[in-house]
Structure 1
Amino acid sequence: MDSMTAPRKAALLGAFDRFNYGDLLFPIVVSNEIYRHSESTEVAIHALIESDFSRYGALKTDSLKSLLRKDALHPGDVVIFAGGGTIGVDWTYMHANLLGRNGNLVLYYLRCLVGDVVLDRMSRYYFGARSPFPWVAGPEDFAVPLKVAYNAVGGSEFASLSTSVQARTLERLGKASYLSVRDAETKRLFAPVEHKVAVDLAPDSAILMSEQFPVYWLKEQVSTQLSAEINEGPYVCFQANVAYAQQHEDRIIAALEVIYEQHGLRALLLPIGRYVGLDDQIALSKILLKLRTPAAIISSEASIWEIMMVIARASLFLGTSLHGNVTSQSFAVPHLGLSDRPCKLDYYLGTWDIPEQSRCVRLEEVSIQVGISLAITDAVRQKKRAELITLAHQNFTKMARACEIDWR
C-alpha cells in the first residue's frame, strides 16, 4: 500500500480512564502493534476524561472533548474503538465508573428526579459528545471525514438492550470501515449489519501481551516484596469482583481450601478491577480473613505489570475476570472462569479456549474441574496460545487494510 495514503493519526478510544486491568492494557497493546507495523502513523490515546495511571504502568489519556475539537483530527484519520465489552453501555454508566461513592449517590438522586433518559443526556453533554453511546460512533459524530474501526470488541449483553437502543447501535456500527468482535455470541447479535460491513471474529487483542511483555521483562517491573511472594512456592491466583464474592463467600473459601488440600496450591488473591462497581480489593480482603489455608493478598496498588506477572507465574488462575483468563491464555497458564450464568467471559471461553476450559464453572464444580485443567499438557496450551496470537495479528492486518493504514 502507498504510504502517502496512510492516515496521519489513529486515535484509540475506550474506557482507559478507570483502574480496570483489561481496559488499561488495550491502548498499550494496540499502540505497540501499530508502531511495530506502521511507523508513519501517529497514535493518540483518548478516554472520557484526562487520566494518568502511569504510576501503575498505564498510558495517560486525553479527554473525549479534546478529540472532538475541530483541529484534533484531519480527513483520512482513523478512530479505533480499541477493545472491551463496551457496546451498548450508556453514558450514565460510564460516568458512574469515574465517580467515587459520593458521586454515585448524586447520580442516584438525579436519576430519581429526572429519569434515566434525561440523566443520560446530561452525562453525554458533560463529556461534550455527539454520539448516542460512549463507545459506538459513526463518522458523522466527528468534525471531519474519517474512518471508524472496532477492534475485537465485546457486545454479548446487547440482547438485553431495548429495541430502540439496539437499532441505533446497529445503525452506527453499520457505518464502520472495520468491525471485529471477540466472541461468537456478539457476532450473532451483530449479524443484522453484515450487509453493510463484515463482522469478523478475532480474539481479544490483549492476547498479544506475552509476546510484547515476556516473563523475563516482567521480572524487572515487579517489587522485591512481590517477587519474594511469587517465588515462595506454587499457588492458585484467585480473583473475584465484590458482587460475586458477597454472594458466594463461603463457597469460595471452601473451594480455595480444597485446592490447597488436593493440589498443594496456596492462594494469592489478586484485585484486578479496582473501581466502584467491581471493587475486587474489598471482596478479596474479606475472604483472606476467613481462609484457614495458606494465603496472601496482592496490594491494591499493584501495577498492571505486577498483576500480569502474578498470573503469568501461577500454577492456576481462577476468577470472574475476562482479562485474568485472557492473561492466562497468553502465558499458557491453566485457568477456569467463574460464573453462575452465561456471561461475556463464558462466551469468550466458548469461542477461543481449549475444550476442557471452554466454559465458566460453578464453585461446586471446582474440585473436579481444577484437576482436569491442571492435567492439560503444556504442549496443548502452547499450541492454543500460538493459534490465538496468530489470529490477533491477522485481525490487525485486516483492520489496517480496511482503514488504509500503511502496514509493513
Structure 2
Amino acid sequence: MRPDSAHRKEARVARIPLVREPPAHIPTILFGAFDRHNFGDLLFPHIVAAMLDDRNPVFAGLVDADLRRFGGHAVHAIAPLAAAWGERAVNLIHVGGEILTCGAWHAAVMLLPLPEARAVVARFDPRPEEALEWAQRRLGTRALAPYCVPRDFFPGARVIYNAVGGAGFGECDEALRAEVLANLRAADTIGVRDRETRAQLAAASVPARLVPDPAVMVAVLFGERIARHARVGEVAQIRAAFPQGYLAVQFSADFGDDATLDAIAAGLERSARSSGHGVALFRAGAAPWHDDTACYARLAARLPTTLVRIVESLDIWDICALIAASRGYCGSSLHGRIVAMAFALPRVNLLHRRAGHPGKQAAFAATWEPPQVRATVEVDEIADGIGEALNADPEQLRQTARELVERYRKEFDATRQRLV
C-alpha cells in the first residue's frame, strides 16, 4: 500500500517543511499519534528520542502538525515521507500508545479543530461506511488502522512497535484486526505495554515482548525540566493557592452528564474535607473526544470556590509538573496515572458508570502495579478510592517507580540493538 498521490501534493503546501532527502546516515523515524493534543502521545517522542542518545530522529504522524506550543514537536506527515524516501533503509519506531485499536474514523476526527469535528460527527456518525470513506480521503490512505504503518510504505525499514497498546483489540472490527495483525507480523520487533494486549496477540500467533509504557521514564529523564515548570506560571499559582497540597484531577468529556458530575463533586468534596487538600482540574487532552473545560466549570460550580482551581495550560511539561507537585492523581487518563507512578505518587483511575469493561487503565495497572494499589474506582466511590490511594505505602510506590525504570531501560536497550 503506497502513499496516495493526493498526499504528495498536500506536502508541497504544508505548514511543516517536508524532509525531502534522508540524512546521509540511516534515518530514524519516530511515528505516533503526537500529531494532535494528547498528553501521553506528546510525551512519547520526547522519551524515545532521549533514549536514542546520539540519533537525530524525524518526528512523523498522519498529518503535518506543529505541536510545539504545547511542548510537542513539529510533525511531518508519514505518507509524503514514504513517497520522498522510497526504498531507502530507515528505522521506523512506533513510539507507543493505544494504536492497535485506533481506526481511521476516530483518527481523522481527532485531528480536526473541535468545531469542525462536531460538524463532521453530526454529518457522518449515522453513516459508518461514508464516515470511513471520508476519513480515508482525509488521511490520504486506505488503511483501517492508520497509526500502524504498513511495511510497504518503507520496504527497506526496520519496523519496531515500542510498548504499544490494544486492550480492546478483540472488540474491534474483523477487517481492522486482520490488517493490524498483518502489519505486526511484518514488523521486526513488537513490544506491548500490558498483558491483556499480549494475550490477544498471542492468540493470533503474534509474539510480543512485555514493555512498560515509555512515560514511566519521565521523572528520571526530565525531572529537572519538570521541576522548573513547577516553580513558575499556573503550577506555581496552584501550589500557592493550596499550601496544604492538592489532588491533580482530570476526566474526559463523557463524564459530563449531570448525575456523574454530582457524584464526582460529592466525592471530591468529601475527600478534600477529610484530607485538607484542594482540587486542581487539568486537561490531559484537547483533541476531540478528550477533555472539556466546560465540564470542569460545571463541576467547579458544584464545589466550594476555595476548594477548586481549573488549570488552563495544555503544555505537557506544565501537566507533568502539576502532577509531580501534587499529593496524588485521580482521573480517567492512563498517562495521568503513569506520570504519578513515575513520581511515586498515589493514583487511581476514574471509571465511568457506563464503562462496559475496565479498559486500558485497568489492563496497565494489572500488569505493573503491586496488588495493594487499586486500579480504578467508579464515580460513586471516588472518596473511598482517593482515601485508599493516599494511604498507600510510600516505599512501595518508590520501589514500583524504580522497577519500571529498570525494566524499560532493559527492554529499550534490546530494541536499540535491532536498529540499523
Paired amino acid for 1:135: Y
Give the match for residue 396 of structure 2: 380
For residues 272 and 109 of structure 1, the distance between their equivalents in structure 2, rounded to whole angstroms, comes to 24
Q: 1:210 to 1:116 in 2, by over 3 A?
A: same
> After alignment, is 238-247 or 126-135 more displaced?
126-135
Q: Take 1:110 and 1:290, find their aligned partners in 2: how far apart are those partners?
A: 34
In the alignment, structure 2 segments of 5+ residues that lack a partner are: 1-23
Aligned length: 389
Aligned residue number for residue 205 of structure 1? 214
Residue pair 1:271, 1:298 contacting (<8 A) in 2 also: no
Whether contact under 8 Å (1:97, 1:277) holds in the other structure is yes
The match for 2:261 is 249
Cα deviations across residues 290-337 of structure 1 (Å, max 9, x unaligned)? 212633334333411111011001112110000000000000110111
> CA shift at 1:67, angstroms?
1.9
Alignment match of 1:24 (pick from 42, 54, 61): 42
In the TM superposition, residue 209 of structure 1 has moved relative to its aligned partner by 0.3
Structure 2 SS opposite 1:328: helix
2:58 aligned residue (15, 38, 44): 44
Task: Give 1:14 shift.
Answer: 1.0
Could you tell me how far 1:105 is from its partner in structure 2?
4.5
TM-superposed CA distance for 1:189, in Å, is 1.0
The question of whether the paired residues in 2 share the 8 Å contact of 1:269 and 1:295 is answered with no
Choose the corresponding residue for 2:171, options 144, 157, 160: 160
Return the alpha-carbon distance in structure 2 between the equivalents of residues 377 and 112 of structure 1: 46
* Residue pairs, 1:225-304, within 5 angstroms: 225-231=234-240, 232-233=242-243, 234-246=245-257, 248-292=260-304, 294-304=306-316
Identity among equivalent positions (%) equals 24
Residue number in structure 1 paired with 2:225: 217
How far is 1:64 from its partner?
2.0
Alpha-carbon displacement from aligned partner over 1:116-151 (angstroms, at most 9, x marks no partner):
3454244324333364421123322x1442121111
1:351 aligns with 2:385: no
Q: Is the 8 A contact 2:229 2:235 kept in 1?
A: no
Q: CA deviation at 1:51?
A: 1.5
What is the aligned partner in structure 2 of residue 3 from structure 1? Answer: none
Contact 2:98–2:166, Cα closer than 8 Å, also in 1: yes
Q: RMSD between aligned alpha carbons?
A: 2.2
Question: Does the 8 Å contact 2:158/2:419 carry over to 1?
Answer: no
TM-aligned CA distance change 1:355 to 1:280, over 3 Å: farther
Query: Equivalents in 2 of 1:93, 1:327: separation in Å?
Result: 25
Shift of 1:193: 4.6
User: Does residue 90 of the first structure (1) align with residue 90 of the second (2)?
Assistant: no
**DSSP-derived class of the 1:149 partner:** strand
Judged with a 3 Å threshold, the aligned counterparts in structure 2 of structure 1 residues 7 and 187 are, in CA distance, closer, same or farther, namely farther
**Could you tell me how far apart the structure 2 residues matched to 1:106 and 1:245 are?**
20
The correspondence for 2:184, drawn from 133, 155, 173, is 173
Kindly indicate whether the alpha-carbon contact (under 8 Å) linking 1:317 and 1:328 is maintained by their aligned counterparts in 2: yes
SS at match of 2:75: coil
Distance 1:293 1:364, change over 3 A: farther
Normalised TM-score (structure 2): 0.86
Q: Secondary structure at the match of 2:74?
A: coil
Determine which of 27, 31, 36 is the counterpart of 1:13: 31
Tell me the SS of whatever aligns to 2:101.
Answer: coil
Residue identity opposite 2:345 in structure 1: V
Aligned counterpart for 2:85 among listed residues 71, 77, 98? 71
Residue 225 of structure 1 deviates from its aligned partner by 4.4
Structure 2 equivalent of residue 367 of structure 1: 383
Change (3 A) 1:72 1:26: farther
Q: SS of 2:399's equivalent?
A: helix
Is the CA contact (8 Å cut-off) linking 1:187 and 1:201 kept in structure 2? yes
Q: Which of 391, 401, 404 is the matching residue for 2:419?
A: 404
Aligned equivalents of 1:136, 1:166: Cα separation in 2: 11
Please give the alpha-carbon distance, in whole angstroms, between the structure 2 residues aligned to 1:400 and 1:251.
Answer: 47
**Secondary structure of 1:356's match?**
coil
- Compared CA separation, residues 225 and 97, structure 1 to 2 (3 A): closer
**Does the aligned pair in 1 maintain the 2:104–2:145 contact within 8 Å?**
yes
Deviation, structure 1 residue 385: 0.2
The answer to whether the aligner puts 1:332 opposite 2:348 as a matched pair is: no
TM-score (norm 1): 0.89
Maintained 8 Å contact 1:181/1:187: yes
Greater relative CO, 1 or 2 (CA 8 Å, sep 6+):
1
Deviation at 1:264, TM superposition (A): 0.8
Which residue number in structure 1 is paired with residue 132 of structure 2?
Answer: 120
1:106, 1:258 → 2: CA distance?
39
Q: For residue 85 of structure 1, what is the amino acid of its counterpart?
A: E
